[in-house]
Amino acid sequence: MPIDPTKPYDPSNIFARIVRGEIPCSKVYEDEHALAFHDINPQAPVHVLVIPKGPYVSWDDFSERGTDAEIAGFVRAVGKVAREQGLVEPGYRLLANVGMDGGQEVPHLHVHLFGGRPMGPMVR
Ligand code: 5GP
């Protein structure tokens, strides 16, 4: 069920609980601003989610309220994870679903990082 993007950040969402260590994840990277872990239902041989540690609902929310340090830290973390996963040379896809039409289901910003095979058409 896609999220309602008009609702304020819900600190009980599943990714907030993962950031707080209340729920386990298969972690691949962590720094001051970001956490990356394998998606529980992978759609590609590599399917990693990268999230900011701060309380942001979506890309829209983060790009408006995030500090310059958080935004720079997050963007650098996404690139670092892709490099560490060996995805740069074969190539990969980044995806951030936003709101209802985007099909966003978890109300904490996350970037999907897909790789390990050709990704095919951009939008079905
Ligand atoms: P969205 O549709 O919001 O862009 O994507 C949410 C993603 O989160 C989905 O790909 C889903 O498989 C993943 N996901 C949902 N709950 C969990 C969880 O508890 N752990 C992990 N690792 N991934 C989750």
- Does residue 124 lie within any of the structural domains? no
Considering 33, 38, 110, 112, which one is annotated as catalytic?
Answer: 110
Contacts of 7 (CB under 8 A, 6+ apart): 57, 107
Residues 6 or more apart whose CB falls under 8 angstroms from that of 51 comprise: 15, 18, 19, 34, 35, 36, 108, 109, 110, 111
Q: Which two tokens stand for residue 9?
A: 């950040």
**Is 2 among the domain residues?**
no
As for how many domains the chain has, the answer is 1
Tell me whether residue 108 is one of the annotated catalytic residues. Answer: no
Domain with 70 in it? 14-115
Angle at 11 between CA 22 and CA 18, to 5 degrees: 30
What is this structure's pTM? 0.97
Tens digits of residue pLDDT in 70-112: 999 999 999 999 999 999 999 999 999 999 999 999 999 999 9
Amino acid at 74: F
Task: Determine the pLDDT at residue 106.
Answer: 98
Distance of CA 14 from the midpoint of ligand 1 (Å): 9
Residue 110 alpha carbon to ligand 1 centre in Å: 9
Residue 18 maps to a domain: yes
